[in-house]
Amino acid sequence: MNLAINEAWKYQILTYPNPAVGCVIVDKFGKILAIKAHQKAGLAHAELSAVISAFEAKFKDTSLPKNPSKAYEYILANHDGFLNGAKAFVTLEPCSHHGKTPPCANLLNKLGFSEVIIGSYDNTDAASGGGKLLQKNGVKVKFGILKERCDELLAPFLAWQSGNFSFLKLGMSLNGVVSGGVITGLGARVLVHKIRSVLPLLAIGGNTVRIDRPTLDSRLANGIYKTYDAVKTDENECKIGELVCSDYETNIRAFDEKYPSKVNKKNYKTDSNSQKIDSSFCQTNDTFYKTHNANTFEVADTYKTHSTHNPDVFIYSRQKEFDKTIPLFSIAKRKVIIGDDIKFVRSYPLCMFEGGQNLLANLPEFVEYVLIFFAPNFLNLANLSANLKLKLLNLCEIDGEFYGWFKIVKK
Ligand SMILES: [Zn+2]
C-alpha cells in the first residue's frame, strides 16, 4: 500500500478535478506486477492503469488502444485469466460508476482478482459502492489499510469537492533561501507549470509581483525547452518517444493520441542515411515540431501557446496600482484580481499560493498543505524566518532535486 501511496503523490493536484489514487497489483504468489497511479483527468484510473501495465508486461502486447474505455474493453476480451487470484492494493475504494471510463470495481471483479485491499472509503454519491460490488461477487475486500496516509492523499480532493483546497508552494535552497532569482532546476519548474496547467487560481503577494515581474503561466508544462533525443528512424518511418526522459514522456504520448495519423506513419518521412525528420513536414504540418539537427527536435512555438490552460491570478495587495506591462497581465483568457481580502481565493475550488517570506508569515488559516521544492545547494543570502510546524506527507526526487508535501500542524 505504501508503494501505491507514494506513486499517487507524484500526481497530486495534476489529477484535478479527480482524486490522486495509486494502485499496486500482485499476483497470487505475491510478486509485484504493476505500480501505477491516476495521472490526469481523462486518462485511465489507477486500477486500469495498473492492469494495462501488467497486461503489457505479461503478453508483450503494446497494441492496446490509447483510449481508456477501449483499453478496458480490449483487456476484458483478451486477458486469458492471467490475473486470477491476484490482489490489488488501492488507496481509494474502486469506483462503481460509469464516468469517462467504465467502473474499476467491475474490471477487478471480471479479471478474477481474489482480494482488493483499500485505504480510504469513497463517500462520494456517484462513485461509492465499489467495495460492496466486489464483496457481492465473492471478492475478499479489506478496508482502511494505512487509512491515515490514504486519507491525507485524498484530502485535497475532498476539500475542493466541498468548496476549496488551497496550498502554499515554495522553492528554496537547503538553507531556506527563497529569494534571489530562480532557485530550483528545470524538472521542478516543469512540474510547477504542469500544476498551473490544471489550476483554476494562483495567489501571489503584491510585493513579489512588483519585484519579480512574473508571467505565472504554464509554458513549460509540455517540456518545450527540452530538446529530445527521441527520434528513432527505420527506413521510411520515424518513431517518437523511446528515448524520451520520463518527465516528458507523457507529453509525447499525448501528442501521439491527439494526432495518431501523424505518428508512426509515413507523414514522418525520413532520409534513411541521415535519419532526419522530413523538414517540410516539420515546417508545414501545423508546425508542431521543428528540427534542430539530425536526431533532435522540440515542440515548436505555435504549439506552446495553444497547448495549455493558464490559471487566473489573485494579487494579494492593499495597493491596487500595478504596472500593467508586468507579463502576468497579458496572458490570454486570464482574469487578474487585485484585492486585500485573502478569503476571496475560497471562491475558487483550487488555489496555489506562490510566495516567500510575507506569505509564509501571513498564511491564512485555511491553507493546510505546503509543497516545498528543495534545490541541493546553499546560497549566501538571507533565509526564511518563520515559525511553522510541519508534518511530512511524502517526499519525491525530481531531476537531482527533491520536493515534499507537508501538512501544517495547527497549534
Ligand atoms: Zn475507477
Q: What is the pLDDT of residues 126-172, one digit of tens each?
A: 667 899 999 999 999 999 999 999 999 999 999 999 999 999 999 99
Contact 40, 67 (CB under 8 A): no
Q: In the listed set 115, 145, 160, which residue is the last one of a domain according to the structure?
A: 160
**DSSP, res 333:** T
Residue 274 predicted with pLDDT over 50: no
Query: How many domains does the chain fold into?
Result: 3
Backbone angles phi, psi at 357, to 5 degrees: -50, -55
Count CB-CB contacts under 10 A for residue 262: 18
Query: What is the pLDDT, as a whole number, of residue 71?
Result: 94
Report d(CA 62, CA 357) in Å as an integer: 49
Q: Which of 47, 93, 152, 298 is catalytic?
A: 47
Centre of ligand 1 from the C-alpha of residue 46, in Å = 7
Q: Give distance in angstroms: CA of 93 to centre of ligand 1.
A: 9
> Are 314 and 332 within one domain?
yes
Regarding predicted confidence, which is higher, 19 or 97?
19
- Respond yes or no: is residue 47 known to be catalytic: yes
Reported as a pLDDT band with limits 50, 70 and 90, residue 401 is very high
Distance of CA 121 to the CA centre of its chain: 22
> Taking a C-beta distance cutoff of 8 angstroms, is the pair 400, 376 a contact?
yes
Which pLDDT score, from 0 to 100, does residue 234 have? 35
What is the pLDDT at residue 268?
A: 32
Confidence at 324, pLDDT banded by 50, 70, 90: very high
Ligand 1 (single-atom ion) residues, CB below 5 Å: 45, 95, 104
Most confident of 96-110, 220-234, 267-281: 96-110
Q: What angle do CA 351, 357, 361 make, to 5 degrees?
A: 75
pLDDT band at 260 (very low <50, low <70, confident <90, very high): very low
How far does the centroid of ligand 1 lie from the alpha carbon of residue 113, in Å?
15
Q: Is residue 394 part of a domain?
A: yes
Domain of 149, CATH number, reads 3.40.140.10
Residue 291 pLDDT level (bands cut at 50, 70, 90): very low
98 Cα: distance to centroid of ligand 1 (angstroms): 9
Q: What is the pLDDT of residue 186?
A: 80
Asked whether residue 236 carries a pLDDT value surpassing 70, the answer given is no
Q: For residue 358, what are the domain limits?
A: 164-218+310-408
Asked if 315 and 373 sit in the same domain, the reply is yes
Rg, Å, the chain Cα set: 23
Mean pLDDT of the chain: 80
Of the residues 135, 160, 185, which one is the last residue of a structural domain? 160
- Same domain assignment for residues 20 and 123: yes
Nearest 5°: the CA angle 201, 190, 369 is 50
Give the global pTM.
0.81
Instruction: State in Å: Cα 185 to ligand 1 middle.
Output: 34
Q: What is the reported pLDDT for 201?
A: 98
Q: Is residue 114 part of a domain?
A: yes
Q: For cell 485469466, what's the residue?
A: 81
With pLDDT > 70 as the criterion, what percentage of the chain qualifies?
78
Contact 47, 107 (CB under 8 A): yes
Which residue would you say has higher pLDDT here, 227 or 123?
123
Q: Where are the alpha helices (DSSP H) in 167-230?
A: 186-196, 206-212
- Asked if residue 225 belongs to a domain, the reply is no
CA distance 233 to 227: 17
92 Cα–ligand 1 center, Å:
9
Of 356 and 21, which is predicted with more confidence?
21
**pLDDT given at position 253:** 30
